[in-house]
Amino acid sequence: MVCDPRVLLAVRVTIASIGVAVGVIAAVVFGVNFDNPHAAGWAAASGIVALVSLVVIILVYRGRLKDWSLTLFALVGATGVVLGITAFILYIILGIYDKKHKPLPESYYIVPVWAFMVIKHSTVMSWVTCYELVKLFRAQQRYQQFSTPEGEE
């Protein structure tokens, strides 16, 4: 079953918009109320990556991105995935080695949740841009195939 592209666009925009709002709100809550700078930083990073992902989704829909900018956003997404995976593993290890029993909002165990959110939004950004790069590459190949004069090969 193939989904309507407008439905996919609406789902992607909705998820990214919710990610922006939740990331900003969580950054404020963890930074101000719970005094957990690690969780606040990764929640803010999640919101920023969700915002960039939202912009990329809208620009791709409007056809405003060129091949170099698609490549740049794909690299930014891949970097976000690597940093998120690294932070996820690091903070789980820190939580295991931290012998103090802190309440959940102040512990290291809440940070991998936000690192995972960075991974999620970065993956969406990478998939969208890589998919568009593949479409652009195939279109260029078809154009070159049909634009070559008959005598030249």
**Under 8 Å CB-to-CB from 40, ≥6 apart: which residues?**
26, 27, 28, 30, 31
Distance of alpha carbon 94 from alpha carbon 88, whole angstroms: 10
CA 25/CA 93 separation, integer angstroms: 26
pTM of the model: 0.83
With a CB cutoff of 8 Å and minimum separation 6, the contacts of 61 are: 9
> Can you give the pLDDT at residue 146?
72
Are 35 and 107 within 8 A, CB to CB?
Answer: no
For position 88, what pLDDT does the model report? 97
pLDDT of residue 52: 93
Residue 63 pLDDT: 82
Q: What is the pLDDT of residue 153?
A: 53
Reported as a single tens digit per residue, the pLDDT across 19-35 is 999 999 999 999 999 98
pLDDT (0 to 100) of residue 131: 85
For the chain, the farthest-separated pair of C-alpha atoms sits apart, in whole angstroms, at 77
Full pLDDT tens readout for the chain, 153 residues = 567 888 888 998 999 999 999 999 999 999 999 989 999 999 999 999 999 999 988 988 888 877 778 889 999 999 999 999 999 999 999 988 887 777 777 788 899 999 999 999 999 899 888 888 888 888 878 777 776 666 555
What is the DSSP secondary structure assignment for residue 2, as one 8-state letter?
Answer: P
pLDDT at 102: 73
Find, among 87, 88, 76, the residue nearest to 123 by Cα.
Answer: 76
